[in-house]
Amino acid sequence: MPVISRGFHGRARDARHKLPPGQYETGDFPVLSAGPTPVLDRDAWEFTLRTETGARHSWNWAELLALPSQTPTVDLHCVTKWSKFDTEWQGVSLDLLLEDVETGADYALVRSYGDYTTNLPLADLLDGQAWIAYRFDGDELAPEHGGPARLLVPHLYFWKSAKWVRGIQLLDEEELGFWETIGYHDYGDPWREQRYQGD
């Protein structure tokens, strides 16, 4: 029976397996923000889902924290080519937030405090793929990384994970967000290297 070494070679093979095309692994957690970090008061914080028919579903900070949470461990892939493996988060699944929301929408436009937006299909927020995350690596989510809470949707390039998330608008027709409007890919699958429109 062959002896399988779980030393350096095994780790290197794992790393390659986890690394999408064109990416490199980093142990750092770079901060990438298109504007200044907004100063947000948890007492005034609110997250609002709006459906295509105009129905509103809102959660304040206490309500969000009172919901059952999950602790996903995920890999992050930024379009600027860094990937960070095995990051540990705590947050509320979008499956739970959307559970009682009646919608036939196909698209979502995510809005942040501070005006950042990003778009994705509604299906990519469901089935255990997305969270409103409020803790990272055992601590409150730091403001520069999107605290009090950010969207976490790690199977797409990290620009889709809107920091300082404020709400999600559900839409029948696709509307493009901030980066998508200026040439980044509508969908942004790192495994298909969908960095720019046309990739």
Ligand X SMILES: Nc1nc2c(c(=O)[nH]1)N[C@H]1C(S)=C(S)[C@@H](COP(=O)(O)O)O[C@H]1N2
User: What is the C-alpha to C-alpha distance for residues 171 and 33, in angstroms, rounded to an integer?
Assistant: 26
Cβ–Cβ < 8 Å for 71, 90: yes
38 binds, among ligand X, Mo ion, none (CB under 5 to 8 A by kind): none
Establish if 78 lies at the interface with Mo ion (CB under 5 A): yes
Closest to ligand X by CB, 10 vs 42, is 42
User: What is the C-alpha to C-alpha distance for residues 82 and 12, in angstroms, rounded to an integer?
Assistant: 17
User: What is the C-alpha to C-alpha distance for residues 35 and 118, in angstroms, rounded to an integer?
Assistant: 15
112 binds, among ligand X, Mo ion, none (CB under 5 to 8 A by kind): ligand X
Stretch in the footprint of Mo ion (CB under 5 A) among 46-54, 78-86, 116-124, 184-192: 78-86
Establish if 32 lies at the interface with Mo ion (CB under 5 A): yes
Q: How far is the CB of 5 from ligand X (least distance, A)?
A: 34
30 binds, among Mo ion, ligand X, none (CB under 5 to 8 A by kind): ligand X
Contacting residues toward ligand X, per CB under 6 A: 29-34, 78, 112, 114, 116, 145-146, 158-159, 161-164
Strand positions, DSSP E, the chain:
24-25, 46-50, 56-60, 73-77, 82-93, 107-112, 117-121, 131-136, 139-140, 150-152, 165-171
User: What is the C-alpha to C-alpha distance for residues 128 and 20, in angstroms, rounded to an integer?
Assistant: 21
176 binds, among Mo ion, ligand X, none (CB under 5 to 8 A by kind): none
Establish if 19 lies at the interface with Mo ion (CB under 5 A): no
